Amino acid sequence: MKIALVNPISRSGQGYHTIGTRIPQLGLQVLARLALAAGHQVDIIDEIFATIDTEKRLAEGGYDLVGVTSYTSSATRAYEVAACCRTLGIPSIMGGPHAWAVPEEPAEHFDSVAVGECDEVWPQILADAQAGKLQNRYDGCFSELTGDRGAAAQGLHPLNGRYDVACIQTSRGCPIGCDYCSVTRFNGREIRRRDIGKIIEEWNSTDRKFIFVVDDNFYGVGPKHAEWAKELLRAIIKHGKRKLWFSQTSLNMGDDIEGLKLAYKAGCRAMLVGIESFNPKALAGWKKGLNVKIFDRYKEHVDGFHKAGLAVFGGFVIGSDEDDENTVADTALKAVQLGVDIIQITNMTPLPGTNLFDKLKAEGRLIATNYPKDWERYTFIETVYTPAKMTARRLDETIYELRKAAATQHWVLKRTLKSFWWTKSLTTTLFVNGMNGAWVSLAKGQVPHDEKRLGYTIVPCERTEKIRKSFNFRSGKLELPSVGGAAGTGSQEPGTETA
């Protein structure tokens, strides 16, 4: 068969899944490898490069099957792709986080829906499609990552573009289970590991010089997890080709001197860390118990990364029931005081399939409910529910103030020099410079949309002065509230989806 695998994006072209990224859709590369091994021909169409030619490519490609993965924000666009397939008479199937969360919805548009991890059921899907007997639904499972399972077709680029980096996954699952995140439900609470030898084999097979290790929690939360991570790092040092990379981890890794040094020696230059909030009540409300446990030692853990030469890419979520209109500014200022090299502040977004979505729906607080059209608004850049201590519009206005400052102030070089002072690593510093430059580009692209939607004029005040100070790095000493005492004003990051 000739198969097209499609990664759609939100029709608005806005959001963290659609702007400034040329990172592979790893789930499609994994399925592509399996299909290629079975003798099929596979093309990837990734709309992070462009959306305008997708329908034309499908019409002219002579495909026997179209597979689509989708985050929630791109589900509306996915259904347009499905409509195109039906017009062309091409069987189509949808998988990914959104199909897992609300499988009855894509079933109205696609010929088939794949629910959950599809490694084990994909060969059956291909066999059924080839026989003209595609079933309405396939249910995946938390499979053991033995043999080549989890490996991707590293050399396969989309028809409509070329990826800048490689993606590799060494494990799946996360035991933390934050209320706003779908990972623990989608991939399971247990961290399942791939064979280290197979990881190194895939590592050495890619021609990309930079790798994103997409694990949701590279280091894990206990001694057993940490030891496996360090065993992998030693194997990369000994047997892996020299490449630079970054991954995602929990803040507790900052306390493991050996692990941090091994990571740097293995080529790691930064970790995306879910710091989430400077408000212990917000953390507790999200069931972010690990961060509550080490809340008083945030600074020590960030310093630990820096001493090993690693940058901290800090993620923060804004919009908990503890947050108010001062939280965005407070978060930006405290993040600079903490020493975060790259700051990502996003709207708390209740993704379907999460505890947060279920809670807000039960409380009647969701305001973007015209599905499937309104799924396009679930992009981590717009408030789609009613916060407890402010209006949704007010929260969006305060985040706009931050984006406007990021887009108009000259701060990237200052941050670059700070990171070099902290890490003493040129390659780490160059990564920080590039990521912060990308954030400026994202902010510049988003600000006009914010201004059109909000029609909001920024009035200088204490809140905007804090934002200005954070970009000028005249921030003072970090002061955190007591875990056991009053929370005060809070601050946070997003619940991420994974394919």
Query: Structure tokens of 385?
Result: 């529910």
Locus of tokens 């954070």:
470
The C-alpha atoms of residue 406 and residue 23 are separated, in whole angstroms, by 23
User: E strands along 31-119, which residues?
Assistant: 41-46, 65-69, 92-95, 112-115
The C-alpha atoms of residue 335 and residue 346 are separated, in whole angstroms, by 14
pLDDT at res. 15: 63
CB 140 within 8 A of CB 118: yes
CB 491 within 8 A of CB 291: no
The C-alpha atoms of residue 122 and residue 126 are separated, in whole angstroms, by 6
Beta bridge partners of 314: 273, 343
pLDDT at res. 18: 56
CB 120 within 8 A of CB 105: no
Per-block mean pLDDT, blocks of 10 residues, the chain (499 long): 95 62 89 97 94 94 97 96 98 96 97 95 97 96 90 94 94 88 86 95 95 93 93 98 96 96 98 95 91 94 98 96 96 95 95 96 97 94 96 97 94 96 98 94 91 92 92 82 47 31
Beta bridge partners of 114: 138
pTM of the model: 0.91
The C-alpha atoms of residue 245 and residue 340 are separated, in whole angstroms, by 18
Query: Structure tokens of 473?
Result: 């790095």
DSSP state for residue 28 in the 8-state scheme: H
Q: What is the largest CA-CA distance in the chain?
A: 67
pLDDT at res. 13: 63
